[in-house]
Amino acid sequence: MTREQARLWSVFEAIAPRVNPHAATAIAQLDRWVAEQGLVVRPRARERFAQADFGWFAAVTYPTADADTLALVADWFAWLFLLDDQLDDGLLGRDPERTAEFMGEMFGVLNGLPPTPGAPTIITALADLWRRSAESASDTWRRRFVDHVIAGGLAARWESDNRCGGVVPAVESYVDKRPHTGAVYVCMDLIELAERIDIPAEVYDSEPFAAALRAACDVVGWVNDLYSLDKETSMGEYHNLVSVTAHERGLDMAEAAAVATERTSDRVLEFLRLERLAERAWPTADVRAYLDGMRSWMRGNLDWSATTRRYRDAATDYLERGLVESIGTGETR
């Protein structure tokens, strides 16, 4: 462990790890759901999916959710990561026009349209997730969630354009997009479902709360970058804080990793400062619950990233083409 890595883990000692007692139930439910939705079919895909352990990931990021909500969150995790694989590792993420068309169909589902006949399985699975999530959510939450998904879609198109043009983004441009390319705001939105709270716009958009949330989202994305670096570079992917830092500053990868790790540690400390300001500005139980959710997300993401085989095993021939192909046509939507 490097000095910078040791500091990162030391900084995280301020956030205790927690695990949801319904973890085993969520894991079993997740296996059933992906089978019912036809999301993971090929043997290599099933193996890789099992290695990722998304059910446990949900349990350490939403430790207080009830059993039903934890199962819903785990299903969202599976869907988001399967989509991420298609965008990062598959042909979809290297074709901006296909990416835009595919995102358009996703946005249609989130705006209440039924999936088109023969829609890809990842679209039909989204319809199921959205029905289960939106039925008990407020109008404010639904609008915010859809806005964050749209921002993620636009960021995915940005990455696709970069890949096609051979563009390595500037560090700050990458940092600006990272919470959306990783759907971190989308995942943070699920805190309100897990805690059965509703954060009003005047709180959510206020400077101390929004700044704390942005810091938490940055930490999650950057920790992911640190642990997924080897897997991504082996596949030629450079949308990673370490890679763009190395490119911009003329560093080797070890030097850039040290810089990125230090920046992540500093951002954790910044979150802890902003958290205190947000709680002082909005001393309510709901805000405290959301801030605790941010803490659990940062800590759970660190613990999962450090142990999951998703980032340690070679990523070879595991993509499910059926996720993004129209049924019966073989056409990628």
pLDDT digits (tens, 9 = 90+) for 152-172: 988 988 998 999 999 999 999
What is the secondary structure of 289-326 as a DSSP string?
HHHHHHHHHHHHHHHHHHH-GGGTS---S---GGGTBP
DSSP state of 62: S
Examine the pLDDT at 100 and tell me if it is beyond 50: yes
Does residue 331 sit within a domain?
no
Does residue 10 sit within a domain?
no
Token match 């990458």: residue? 174
How far apart (Å, rounded) are the C-alpha atoms in residues 270 and 294?
Answer: 13
Sign of CA dihedral 112, 205, 183, 153: positive
- The reported pLDDT for the residue numbered 321 is 54
DSSP state of 250: T
Contact 285, 293 (CB under 8 A): no
- The reported pLDDT for the residue numbered 332 is 43
The enclosing domain of 248 has a CATH number of: 1.10.600.10
Q: Please give the structure tokens belonging to residue 295.
A: 């803490």
Q: Nearest 5°: phi and psi at 332?
A: -75, 125
Percent of the chain with pLDDT over 90: 72
- The reported pLDDT for the residue numbered 21 is 98
- The reported pLDDT for the residue numbered 119 is 87
How high is the mean pLDDT of the chain? 90
**What is the average per-residue pLDDT within 116-127?**
91
Strands (E), the chain: none
* Residue 152 C-alpha from the chain's centroid: 10
How far apart (Å, rounded) are the C-alpha atoms in residues 273 and 14?
Answer: 12
Does residue 13 sit within a domain?
no
Any residues with CB less than 8 A from the CB of 29 and at least 6 apart, and which?
55, 71, 74, 75
Count of domains observed in the chain: 1
Q: What is the pLDDT of residues 233-271, one digit of tens each?
A: 988 899 999 999 999 999 999 999 999 999 999 999 999
In this prediction, residue 88 has a pLDDT band, given cuts at 50, 70 and 90, of low
Does residue 265 sit within a domain?
yes
CA angle 186, 304, 32 (to 5 degrees): 70
Does residue 109 sit within a domain?
yes
Q: What is the pLDDT of residues 287-307, one digit of tens each?
A: 999 999 999 999 999 999 999
Q: Nearest 5°: phi and psi at 325?
A: -105, 145
Contact 74, 27 (CB under 8 A): yes
Contact 327, 321 (CB under 8 A): no
Does residue 9 sit within a domain?
no
Examine the pLDDT at 327 and tell me if it is beyond 60: no
Q: What is the pLDDT of residues 186-203, one digit of tens each?
A: 999 999 999 999 999 999
How many H-runs (helices) and E-runs (strands) does the chain carry? Answer: 15, 0
Contact 74, 187 (CB under 8 A): no
Ranking 36-40, 100-104, 315-319 by mean pLDDT, the lowest is 315-319
Examine the pLDDT at 330 and tell me if it is beyond 60: no
> Who has greater pLDDT, 296 or 309?
296
How far apart (Å, rounded) are the C-alpha atoms in residues 3 and 217?
Answer: 24
**What is the average per-residue pLDDT within 120-146?**
94
| Residue range(s) defining the domain that contains residue 83 | 23-323
- The reported pLDDT for the residue numbered 46 is 79
- The reported pLDDT for the residue numbered 313 is 58
The radius of gyration computed from the CA coordinates of the chain, to the nearest angstrom, equals 19
Does residue 153 sit within a domain?
yes
Predicted structure pTM score: 0.92
- The reported pLDDT for the residue numbered 94 is 65
Percent of the chain with pLDDT over 70: 92
Examine the pLDDT at 97 and tell me if it is beyond 90: no
**What is the average per-residue pLDDT within 51-73?**
95
Does residue 311 sit within a domain?
yes
